[in-house]
Structure 1
């Protein structure tokens, strides 16, 4: 089976889409698990974060390994691991242990998809003669579409279809198996001669030299946790706070928050690509303005229990997600050295997933200290402002020109 033409990236995109679907199908079901499985709110929110335990190692190890050994060996297992994760989640409706392990496997699949799949899409797009920003855009949109549709379909099925604890996961298993079949035809983009000629060990690769650059920590790192910090508030915190107001359709409401947020994030990425300019912090500044505005609206929704304000907040937070994601990916592709694109992408995504800890942290603080959600969300808006100032005043010096940068330059 071969798929070496201009559409080769599409098979990899579907695998990324399937992994993202598997990673986010659990999210709108948080309300269901709280209400029907007798699992405490703090534990449920912790399960949302649990898959980060799979994502981060897969990112930090899988990305550099694919830089050394190629994209195919590291990405091919991703759909199969995603299917295994969904199978465990389907079997673990009343078992915290099974749910936790299933989430970890879903995280491993998603981590490989984000670091390795994203780099593979970028390189296949370059090979097909696409525009310089096409690879980052296609990778980001594949993730966003998978996150959004996975959550929306899972919510609808769990609310009104039979087998609410299993059906959504079974669909992801089928989708992942189809993606694996198509992935078999995607060509390798890391030429053999580069793999053979590389010096040093894999341990040397794990150091990811470009991750130590001051530019990365001042222009990318401050915004990265808000990629999924905004998402976590949009489709975990807001639905939980409005459960009493949405009784009878609370799972669908959670899915609606996911869909609105991620649809907004999907479309705003086109704007992000258009306003992004090398050496300018504009796209990052806009991203943090959107994230901060969304946090303020979420605080208002928490204080008033307004469904309408909650939905608007989800949309604005989704815009913040999309802008922080695309601006971060584009800047990472500029900063990455000749042989650590996947490695630096992995570091970026690892930082983004810190944001998924926010619902569990807020639930714990609310339960043990009595701090209200409006105050915590307002504090989040203030932190967005701090990050905005950091990226606005940071200097984005000239990008080092190497052979790799000449080949993959993003509007430089």
Structure 2
């Protein structure tokens, strides 16, 4: 399939205020492919060790973070469609590699890393593209929320649908993996003809540019974004990957894990309009409320693990999912407000790379739980979140003082 690129002879006509839904669907499909593995992990537990299974879940971050930082620059230069489309194709390739690897750990690991590279290629240009299409339609304020909802929707639907497939369908792996490949094809078709801004073509050596370096080295970015972004996925993956292992779900492990993932990320979607309302009071408020939700969620998780209560597990998923949603959409809005459009993909990639550091949370929590009491580990995580709360509060306090 040939994707039209900016500057081609094919004229692309504006599609109206709903054009942003097409790159949003592309982001959703990539996120679906990345996180559907959370439920499919259940099918590997009899053939792989617990350490291998946990490693496979977070392994795609190994490919994602470098790809984010490299390929986002290419999307600023070559155009959003070309890079997002390539990311979608690579997502399908990674999924097929996992499917064809059977129970071979090395093959599955390679496929997960490819899926990570695909996400790194797709998410930043998709977010920047959604922002630009929202701006062009006069709905610029909604751009970050739409991008965050697309990403979160994919992360939620992937494990939910895959959990249902694993629990009740014959041949669950082929069904789940091939469904994602079909969705990739639909997303590629949707991108054809979608309008995009002309690709930025600065001279060699001008990317990222002084303006971008100034923003990324500024006090607000360092003390508000850098200290809170890892909690985006740190909160979410603790709820959907670490806690279902520490709290037994009985014979419904696959679908139960999918439901917890959908609950976590569904709460993240529902809370995003609240983030915008809180931002009207002060840009700092949604960050503070989001990190406070991390603190509360980790403390509730401590009680959940101590009691083994499934009801508390659901409550924990809601609280930590709310933290995820608040910090994701607020971080995206702040980053997009700090940089011009030509640097949007690179700045967004840096933000996403920081959020994906949080994917280490389930591995770290499970590893430390083998040495110490898991409740004590979760209390320690809550204490770290308190330090982030202090940092983000100081960021805006100092900014007001400077103003």
TM-score, with length taken from structure 2 = 0.91
Larger mean Cα displacement after TM superposition, 218-227 or 67-76: 67-76
**Cα distance in structure 1, aligned partners of 2:276 and 2:124:** 20
**Cα distance in structure 1, aligned partners of 2:216 and 2:73:** 12
Aligned to 1:169: 177
Aligned to 2:245: 240
Matches within 5 A, 1:173-212: 173-189=181-197, 191=198, 194-195=200-201, 198-201=202-205, 208-209=212-213, 210-212=215-217
SS in 2 for 1:222: coil
Q: Is the 8 A contact 2:85 2:122 kept in 1?
A: no
Aligned to 1:53: 62
Deviations 1:1-55 (A, max 9, x none): 8562222211111110100100100012233322x22x12222111111101221
**Cα distance in structure 2, aligned partners of 1:45 and 1:331:** 32
Deviations 1:278-317 (A, max 9, x none): 8631010000111111111111111111111111101111
Match of 1:310 among 294, 298, 313: 313
Q: Is the 8 A contact 1:22 1:150 kept in 2?
A: yes
1:115/1:338 CA distance change after superposition, 3 Å? closer
Deviations 1:192-211 (A, max 9, x none): 5x52xx23327656994122
**Cα distance in structure 2, aligned partners of 1:332 and 1:43:** 35
Task: Give, in angstroms, the shift of residue 364 of structure 1.
Answer: 2.3
1:170/1:66 CA distance change after superposition, 3 Å? same
Task: Give, in angstroms, the shift of residue 217 of structure 1.
Answer: 0.7
Task: Give, in angstroms, the shift of residue 94 of structure 1.
Answer: 0.6
Q: Is the 8 A contact 2:83 2:122 kept in 1?
A: no
**Cα distance in structure 2, aligned partners of 1:252 and 1:336:** 41
Match of 1:222 among 227, 231, 239: 227
**Cα distance in structure 2, aligned partners of 1:59 and 1:231:** 20
1:61/1:298 CA distance change after superposition, 3 Å? same
**Cα distance in structure 2, aligned partners of 1:177 and 1:3:** 22
Aligned to 1:115: 124
SS in 2 for 1:258: helix
Q: Is the 8 A contact 1:287 1:323 kept in 2?
A: yes
**Cα distance in structure 2, aligned partners of 1:20 and 1:66:** 18
Q: Is the 8 A contact 1:59 1:349 kept in 2?
A: yes
1:5/1:141 CA distance change after superposition, 3 Å? same
Gaps of at least 5 residues in structure 1 are: 399-412
Aligned to 2:34: 23
Determine if the alignment matches structure 1 residue 8 to structure 2 residue 19. yes
Task: Give, in angstroms, the shift of residue 269 of structure 1.
Answer: 0.7
Aligned to 1:104: 113
**Cα distance in structure 1, aligned partners of 2:122 and 2:183:** 15
Match of 1:268 among 266, 271, 277: 271
1:158/1:138 CA distance change after superposition, 3 Å? same
Gaps of at least 5 residues in structure 2 are: 1-9
- Give the aligned length: 387
1:217/1:118 CA distance change after superposition, 3 Å? same
Q: CA RMSD in A?
A: 2.0
